[in-house]
C-alpha cells in the first residue's frame, strides 16, 4: 500500500524528529559488557519498548532474562498474511579508549553528514530504522503484512540468553523470514547486501614449559622457552602459501566456480585505496586468491592475542613458565565449527614438542551462513534497495560472523535477509563510530518498502 | 695472620649476632625498582655504612648519586700491600607476587637451615659476608692487605649510576682485584667458582601492520596480522638444530677444545634431576651440545616477553595493529654485544615482509667476561674455598650476565673473582628466596682467609 512517494513525503516531514529520537537513544550508555551500565541497559530497553508502543504495536514488552532484557513487539493484522521478524540489538560496545574520541561517545553530534556516537551504526541506528519504518507504515495505511520484533541487549557479549529465549518462544516467534540490519554496504553509490557470512572457531592455547619462571641467563638455550615454542607452533599452522596446515581443514570447503568468482569480483574494489586506507605497503594472504576472495570466500586463521613473559617497561631476563595465544579461524560454507575446533585441537596437541605441555581450550564457535537469493524475501529486499538507492544491491560475501543467524536457521528454521545500511568506514567497535544521516533516513524508506514488496510477493 | 682456627673460633662466638645483624638488614625493604621504597633504600645504605664503621673502616660514606646511593668504605694499612676491592649491592628485587611467599618476604625466618627472605641470597646475605669477614679480620690482628668496599643500591635496576661513579672515582677505587659474591656454587658438597659469564644483547621488536586494530572477520586472511608475522620472524631466528640464524652470529664465538669441554663436563650434573626439578619431559637446545654446555659455553636466544592483540578474559576478534616482543641473546667470549645487536637489528629489518613495518630498539647490552685463573687472586680464592669447604672449587662457566664485571675491566682495568656462596635452589628473584645459614657463615670464613692468602701471595 505504501509507495516511494509516501515514504519520501513522510520522511521529509519527520526527518528532524527521527534524528532527535535516535539521539535520545544514543545518549543512553547501554554498554552490555560493563556491569556499571546495567541500569542504562534497562533504560534503553524501556525506551525501545515505548517507541514500539507509540508507533502502534499491539504488544510491546520488555522480557527479562538472566542477563539483559529482550524487547519483543508485534503487529499482527492477518494470520494468512506473511510475517516478518525483525532482529536487532540496543546494546553497544564499550566506548573506551575515550581519549581517542573527538566528541563524547554518548553525546551524539553530526559531523560531515554522519552521526558520531557509540552505537550509531552498531546497532542502535540500524535497529531504530525498523522502528521508524514501522511507524511510517502504520501512519500510511498500516503494515502490509504481520511484523514481529525481537531486539536484544546482549549482542555485544555473545547473545547467550537470546538462544534460550528463541528456544523457549518458537511459537511466538513463528514467521516467514528474519530481517537484520547489522551489516554494511559497499558504498552509498554501490548498495549491497551480504548473502554469506563466515562461521568461526575461537580457541585459546596455553603452552607450559618449566614449572616456574626461570632466569634466561642461567637456563636459556637449555630449556624449551614456551614463547619460542608457541611462535613455532603458530608459524607451522600456515604454509608459505598461507594455507592452513591443520589436516582436514579444507576438506568440506565449498569451492566457488570460476563464474561465481568472476561475479563476486565485479564488486567495486580498489587495492591501492584499500592499502592506503590501512597504511600498508602490501597485502598478504592465501596464494591464488585475491583480496576480495580472501575476505569473502576463503577460510582464514588469525592470532587475535598473544602474551607471555615480561611485557612491562624496560627489560627483564625471564624464561617464562607459560605462553598463551587466542586464535580464531573464520569458516566458509560447508565447514562445521565443531569439526574444525576438534581438528585444530587434535593437530595442535599432536605437534607439541615433548619439551612443553600444550592445553587447547575452545572458546566459542558459529556456523557459516548463506542467504538463499531465490526467495520472495530476498527479491523484495533487492527491489526496495533499487527503488531507494537507484541501483540493484550487489550480493556480497562477508568475512564477519553473526553466529545468531545460523542459530535462527537451526532453531526457528528461518532464513535471514541482511539489509545492512552501514559502511565499512563507520568504525564500529572503535572510537568515533559513526552512521550516515543519509543511510539512516534512506534505510527507513528501504525497510518500509521491503515490507510492502514482500507482502505483495507473498500474496500470490 | 688470621688462620682457619681463628676464623672458626670467632665464628662460633659471634654466630648469633652475625645472623641477627643480617636479619635486621633483610627487614629493610630496599626495593630499588619501586619509588615507594625510596626511603628504605636510603635506610639500607645508612645501615651498611654504620656496620663498616663499627667493624673498623677508616672511611665509610654514603655517596649520593642521581639514583640510589653507593656505600664506599676502606681500610688502608700500607700502600705497598695489595688492595682488594669488594663489590656488592644492598638493593633487592621486588617481592611480588607476595601471595606466593610462605612467609613474609621482609620478615626473615630460618627454615630447613636456610634464611628465607627477599635479598637473603641476592645480594644482602652474600654482601654482608664481606662486612663480617672484615670485622673478623679486624678483631683478629687486623686486615692483612688494604681493602676497599663499593656497595651499590641499583644493581637490580641496571647499575646506571655505578658506571658514572667508577668513571669519576678511578683513583679512589684503585686496587689489584675485585671480589664479588653474587653468584652461586654447584652444591655445598661441590664448591665452585664461576670463571666465565655470558654477555647479553637485549632488544625490543615492534611489528606494525594496519594503522588501526581491525575486525578479524572482515580483514582476516587478507591483511598481514602482525602477531602471525612476529611469530614467523621469531621462528626463523633459529633453525631446526636451534642454531641462531642471524648472519655472523657465531663468527667470533670462542669454540672450546674437546679437552676443555671434557673438563667442564666433569662438574656434577644429572639430567634426570634437572628435568624433574623443572617438571619437564625433555630438554631442548642447540644440537651437538649437552645441557651443561648449552648453559655455560654456547650463545643463546630467548624471547623474554611477547604481547599483542586481545589478552583479557574471553574472546575478542581483533586483527591488531601491532605486536611486540622482547628478545635477548646471551653471548659468549669473544662475541661483542654492540656487534651482535647491530647484526640482529639489520637481520630482523631485512627479513620483515613488505606487509608490515618492523622497529627494533636495543635495550641494553653487556660483554661476556672470563676470569683469568692463573692469578694470585684466583689461587688465593681457590685455596680459601678448599680450606673451608674441604674441596678445591670447580671452575664453572655461567649462563648469567653481570654486565658491571666487564665494565670494571674496561674502566678500572681490574679482573673480578666471583666468590659466590649461593645455590641455584635459592630462588633468587622469585618467591621464597633463601640462603643457607651454612653458606652465610662459611662464606665469612672463606672471605677472611681469601684476604690472608692473597696478601701472602702478593707479598713475594
Element spanning B222, H or E: none
CB nearest B364 (choices: A200, A221, A315) = A315
Same domain, B242 and B338: yes
CATH number at residue A333: 3.30.70.360
Give tens-digit pLDDT for A350-404: 999 999 999 999 988 889 999 999 999 999 999 999 999 999 999 999 888 888 8
- Check residues B76 and A95 and name the one with the higher pLDDT: B76
Is residue A263 one of the residues assigned to a domain? no
Asked if residue B72 belongs to a domain, the reply is yes
Of B221, B316, B353, the CB nearest to A300: B221
A380 and A427, same domain (yes or no): yes
Amino acid A7: pLDDT: 93
Of the candidates A21, A28, A59, A22, the one whose C-alpha atom is nearest the C-alpha of residue A45 is: A28
Q: Which residue of A has its CA nearest to B224?
A: A284
Contact A224 B356 (CB under 8 A): no
In 3D, which of B103, B34, B32, B94 has the Cα closest to residue B69? B32
Q: Using 50, 70 and 90 to split pLDDT, how confident is the model at A147?
A: very high
Give B429's contacts in chain A (Cβ within 8 Å).
Answer: 215
Closest Cα in chain B, distance from residue A58 (Å): 38
- pLDDT for res B97: 81
pLDDT at A241: 97
Compute the average pLDDT of residues A246-263.
94
> Looking at the complex, does the CB of residue B209 fall below 8 Å from at least one CB of chain A?
yes
In a domain, A324, yes or no: yes
The verdict on B305 touching A (C-beta cutoff 8 Å) is: yes
Q: Do A225 and B302 touch (CB under 8 A)?
A: yes
> Has residue B122 been placed in a domain?
yes
* B159, B211: one domain: no
Pairing of strands A422-423, A434-436: unpaired
Domain harbouring A88, CATH code: 3.40.630.10
Question: What is the span of the domain harbouring residue B83?
Answer: 4-196+368-459
Given A364, A390, A411, the domain boundary residue is: A364
Tell whether A227 is within 8 A of chain B (Cβ): yes
- B426 and B410 fall within a common domain: yes
Q: Which of B123, B155, B156, B376 is catalytic?
A: B155
Q: Which of B294, B309, B363 sits opposite A221 (nearest CB)?
A: B294
From first to last of its 460 residues, what are the pLDDT tens digits of chain B?
689 999 999 999 999 999 999 999 999 999 998 999 999 999 999 999 999 999 999 999 999 999 999 999 999 999 999 999 999 999 999 898 888 899 999 999 999 999 999 999 999 999 999 999 999 999 999 999 999 999 999 998 889 899 999 999 999 999 999 999 999 999 999 999 999 999 999 999 999 999 988 889 889 999 999 999 999 999 999 999 999 999 999 999 999 999 989 988 988 899 999 999 999 999 999 999 999 999 999 999 999 999 999 998 878 889 999 999 999 999 999 999 999 999 999 999 999 999 999 999 998 888 999 999 999 999 999 999 999 999 999 999 988 888 899 899 999 999 999 999 999 889 888 889 999 999 999 999 999 999 999 999 976 4
Q: What part of A 365-394 touches B (C-beta under 8 Å)?
A: none
Looking at the fold, whether A398 and A333 belong to one and the same domain comes out as: no
What total number of domains does chain A contain? 2
Residues 123-162 of A with CB under 8 A from B: none
Structural domain contains residue A50: yes
Q: Which of B339, B364, B389 is the last residue of a domain?
A: B364
Of A234, A314, A429, the CB nearest to B215: A429
Tell me the per-residue pLDDT of A185-211, one tens digit each, with 9 for 90 and over: 999 999 999 999 999 999 999 999 999
Q: Which residue of B has its CA nearest to A353?
A: B282
Whether residue A304 and residue B324 make contact (CB cut-off 8 A), yes or no, is no
pLDDT at A2 over 70: yes
Contact with chain B for residue A121, Cβ under 8 A: no
| B138 and B53 in a common domain | yes
Note whether A204 and A113 are same-domain residues.
Answer: no
Q: Within 10 Å of residue B92's Cβ, how many Cβ atoms?
A: 32
Whether residues B8 and B134 share a domain: the answer is: yes
Query: Is residue A460 predicted with pLDDT exceeding 70?
Result: no
Q: Which residues of A are annotated as catalytic?
A: 91, 155
pLDDT at A316: 82
Q: Does any domain span residue B415? A: yes
Best residue in A93, A274, A283, A304 to probe B by mutation, most B CBs within 10 Å? A304
Q: Are residues A184 and A135 in the same domain?
A: yes
**A265 interfaces chain B, CB cutoff of 8 Å:** no
Measured between beta carbons, the chain A residues lying within 8 angstroms of B311 are: 305-307, 324, 326
Residue B288 lies in a domain: no
Note whether B452 and B351 are same-domain residues: no
pLDDT value, residue B60: 98
- Please report whether residue B321 resides in a domain: yes
Q: Which residue on chain B is closest to A216 by alpha carbon?
A: B302
Amino acid at each position: 500500500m505504501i509507495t516511494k512517494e509516501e515514504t519520501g513525503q513522510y520522511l521529509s516531514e519527520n526527518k528532524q524528529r527521527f534524528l532527535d529520537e535516535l539521539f535520545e537513544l544514543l545518549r543512553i550508555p547501554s554498554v552490555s559488557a560493563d556491569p556499571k551500565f546495567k541500569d542504562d541497559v534497562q533504560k534503553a530497553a524501556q525506551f525501545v519498548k515505548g517507541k514500539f508502543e507509540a508507533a502502534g504495536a499491539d504488544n510491546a514488552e520488555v522480557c527479562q532474562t538472566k542477563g539483559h532484557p529482550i524487547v519483543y513487539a508485534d503487529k499482527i493484522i492477518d494470520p494468512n498474511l506473511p510475517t516478518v521478524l525483525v532482529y536487532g540489538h540496543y546494546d553497544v560496545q564499550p566506548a573506551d579508549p575515550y581519549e581517542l574520541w573527538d566528541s563524547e561517545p554518548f553525546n551524539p553530534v553530526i559531523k560531515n553528514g554522519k552521526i558520531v556516537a557509540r552505537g550509531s551504526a552498531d546497532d542502535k541506528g540500524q535497529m531504530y530504522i525498523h522502528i521508524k519504518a514501522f511507524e511510517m507504515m502504520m501512519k500510511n495505511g498500516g503494515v502490509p503484512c504481520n511484523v514481529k520484533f525481537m531486539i536484544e541487549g546482549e549482542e555485544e557479549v555473545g547473545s547467550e540468553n537470546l538462544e534460550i529465549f528463541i528456544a523457549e518462544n518458537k511459537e511466538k516467534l513463528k514467521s516467514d523470514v528474519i530481517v537484520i540490519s547489522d551489516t554494511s554496504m559497499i558504498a552509498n553509490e554501490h548498495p549491497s547486501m551480504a548473502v554469506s557470512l563466515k562461521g568461526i572457531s575461537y580457541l585459546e592455547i596455553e603452552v607450559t614449559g618449566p614449572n616456574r619462571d626461570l632466569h634466561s641467563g642461567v637456563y636459556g638455550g637449555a630449556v624449551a622457552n614456551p614463547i619460542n615454542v608457541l611462535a613455532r607452533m603458530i608459524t607451522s599452522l600456515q604454509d608459505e602459501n598461507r594455507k592452513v596446515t591443520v589436516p582436514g581443514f579444507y576438506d568440506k570447503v565449498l569451492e566457488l566456480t570460476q563464474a561465481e568468482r568472476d561475479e563476486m569480483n565485479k564488486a567495486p574494489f580498489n587495492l591501492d585505496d584499500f592499502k592506503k586506507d590501512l597504511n600498508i605497503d602490501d597485502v598478504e594472504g592465501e596464494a591464488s586468491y585475491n583480496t576480495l576472495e580472501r575476505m569473502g570466500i576463503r577460510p582464514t586463521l588469525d592470532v587475535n592475542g598473544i602474551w607471555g613473559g615480561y611485557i612491562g617497561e624496560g627489560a627483564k631476563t625471564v624464561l617464562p613458565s607459560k605462553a598463551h595465544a587466542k586464535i580464531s579461524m573464520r569458516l566458509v560454507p560447508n565447514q562445521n565449527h565443531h569439526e574444525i575446533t576438534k581438528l585444530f585441537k587434535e593437530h595442535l596437541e599432536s605437534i607439541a614438542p615433548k619439551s612443553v605441555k600444550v592445553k587447547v581450550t575452545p572458546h566459542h564457535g558459529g556456523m557459516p551462513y548463506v542467504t538463499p537469493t531465490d526467495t520472495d524475501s530476498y527479491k523484495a529486499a533487492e527491489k526496495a534497495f533499487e527503488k531507494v538507492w537507484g541501483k540493484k544491491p550487489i550480493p556480497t560475501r562477508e568475512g564477519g560472523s553473526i553466529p545468531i543467524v545460523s542459530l535462527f536457521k537451526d532453531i526457528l528454521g528461518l532464513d535471514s535477509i541482511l539489509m545492512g545500511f552501514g559502511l565499512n568506514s563507520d568504525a564500529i567497535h572503535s572510537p568515533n563510530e559513526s552512521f550516515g544521516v543519509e543511510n539512516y533516513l534512506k534505510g527507513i524508506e528501504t525497510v518500509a518498502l521491503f515490507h510492502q514488496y514482500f507482502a505483495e510477493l507473498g500474496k500470490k
